[in-house]
Amino acid sequence: MKLFTEAQRRDLIANGERSAAGEQIDPHPTVKLFTPDAGATWLLTELNPDEPDRAFGLCDLGLGCPELGYVSITEVARVRGRLGLPVERDLYFTADRPLSEYAAEARRRGRIVA
C-alpha cells in the first residue's frame, strides 16, 4: 500500500510550500499512518518541497511521548511492528481539527487519539 495518495501528496507539498515561504500555518493533518501490530502513529501535514522525503507532523512511536517534528518517509516505510507488518495509511481518517489540537490532546493522553 502507498503511504499516501497522489492527491494527499499534492496537499502535503502545498502545505510545505506555505511553510517554506514563511507562512505560519496550522493545517489539519492530511494523512494518518500507523503500524497495525505496534503502537506507532504519524499524523502528517506537510512535505518539504525541496526534499519530499522529509515530512512534518505529529509522531508517536508508542512510547508515551508523542511530539511534533520531522520524519523521513523512507524510514517510516521501513518500520515493522512485532509481527513484521508494514506501516499502513488509515483509509478512513479524516482530520476534524488542526494539528496543534491533536498535539495538545496527545500530550495530555500520552498518545495520539485520532
The reported pTM is 0.95
The pLDDT, as a whole number, for residue 13 is 98
pLDDT band at 1 (very low <50, low <70, confident <90, very high): confident
pLDDT tens-place string over residues 26-65: 999 999 999 999 999 999 999 999 999 999 999 999 999 9
List the 31-34 sheet strands across, edge first: 67-72, 51-60, 41-48, 31-34, 88-89
pLDDT band at 24 (very low <50, low <70, confident <90, very high): very high
pLDDT tens-place string over residues 56-77: 999 999 999 999 999 999 999 9
Write the single-letter amino acid at 54: R
Stretch 85-112: mean pLDDT: 97
pLDDT tens-place string over residues 93-104: 999 999 999 999
What is the distance between the alpha carbons of residues 55 and 45, in angstroms, rounded to a whole number? 8
Q: Which long-range contacts (CB under 8 A, 24 or more apart) does 71-74 make?
A: 71/42, 71/44, 73/3, 73/47
